[in-house]
Amino acid sequence: MKTVLPQVEDIIALKRDRLAQRQAQTPMNALRALAGMQRRPEPVLSTVTDTVMIFGQITHSPLNYDPVTIALSYWKAGLDAVSMFTDDTVYEGSVNDLTLIARAVPVPTINLNYVFDEYQIVESRAAGASALTLYASLLDPNALRTLASTTLRNRMTAIIDVTDAEELHNTLDFCPPAISLGKRNASGDLDVRWMHYLRSFVPACTRIVISTPLASLEEAKAVALMRPQAVFVEPQLIPSLETIRSIFAQN
């Protein structure tokens, strides 16, 4: 495991404890059987297209939290995929919620939570996920390569999140199908210059995902110049999906 922020270390330590509990309750062979019973994953960044995919993100909240209702509203609004991220609150029910979301909507579901073990990958497939994110900042290059390969063997798309040039170059050594970039500076503005810099190293065979949710049409215009294959958007931008698609179509 790489050196990470103390609060992230605490989250991962707790997730390891909970992972051990789940492994004791459901052995890997049983989990693989459950994963094999799921419907074939919906394609995520695995087909060539001229249109940008637009993703919505669900995060856990202790107030008014209804992931299925949120997922249905995202799908009805026209989003291309629904993602699930809960590690900011160390929420224990994320896998169950992912399962409910995958059953509720016909679009792909993406697991954004911290993954560091093969069991979590099979668990994501058993929950119905079509893709998951692997964070290069949390994994050494060998572990990252192994988990990316395991994700693909489980018929899901591996999206590798990178935070600097070293992580990007280590990741490009094994030709990942998709890389996610995203960063805001201290003032809260999207760090487009930094993303442009890393984007310049990514070959055409690798899909680009802008992982920091776009908060305005101005940010969409700035990001469109990088010609990404997918972006995340904040909920307030969902009513403007057609405008966002037209912005990306012009670049």
Per-residue pLDDT tens over the stretch 175-204: 899 999 999 999 999 999 999 999 999 998
Nearest CA to 164 among 181, 147, 146?
181
Alpha-carbon distance 88 to 103, whole Å?
Answer: 24
CB 148 within 8 A of CB 158: yes
Q: What is the pLDDT of residue 58?
A: 94
Q: What is the mean pLDDT of residues 204-225?
A: 95
Q: What is the pLDDT of residue 86?
A: 76
DSSP code at position 207 = E
Q: Look up the CATH number of domain 6-39+51-249.
A: 3.20.20.70
Q: Is pLDDT at 169 greater than 90 in this prediction?
A: yes
**Cα–Cα separations (whole angstroms), residue 101 to 86, 91, 97, 131:** 14, 16, 6, 13
Q: What are the beta bridge partners of residue 190?
A: 184
Q: What is the pTM of this model?
A: 0.92
Alpha-carbon distance 79 to 72, whole Å?
Answer: 10
Higher pLDDT, 6 or 143: 143
Element (H, E) at 152: helix 141-153
Q: What is the mean pLDDT of residues 139-154?
A: 95
Q: What is the mean pLDDT of residues 122-137?
A: 96
Provide the b/e sequence for 122-136 (b: ≥16 CB within 10 Å): bbbbbbbbbbbbbbb
Q: Which segment of 75-89, 129-143, 192-206, 236-250 scores lowest on mean pLDDT?
A: 75-89
Q: What is the mean pLDDT of residues 74-84?
A: 96
Q: What is the pLDDT of residue 32?
A: 96
Q: Is pLDDT at 3 greater than 60 in this prediction?
A: no
Alpha-carbon distance 179 to 199, whole Å?
Answer: 9
Q: Is pLDDT at 7 greater than 90 in this prediction?
A: no
Q: Which segment of 27-31, 64-68, 126-130 scores lowest on mean pLDDT?
A: 64-68
Q: What is the pLDDT of residue 64?
A: 84
How many angstroms from the chain centroid is the CA of residue 76?
20
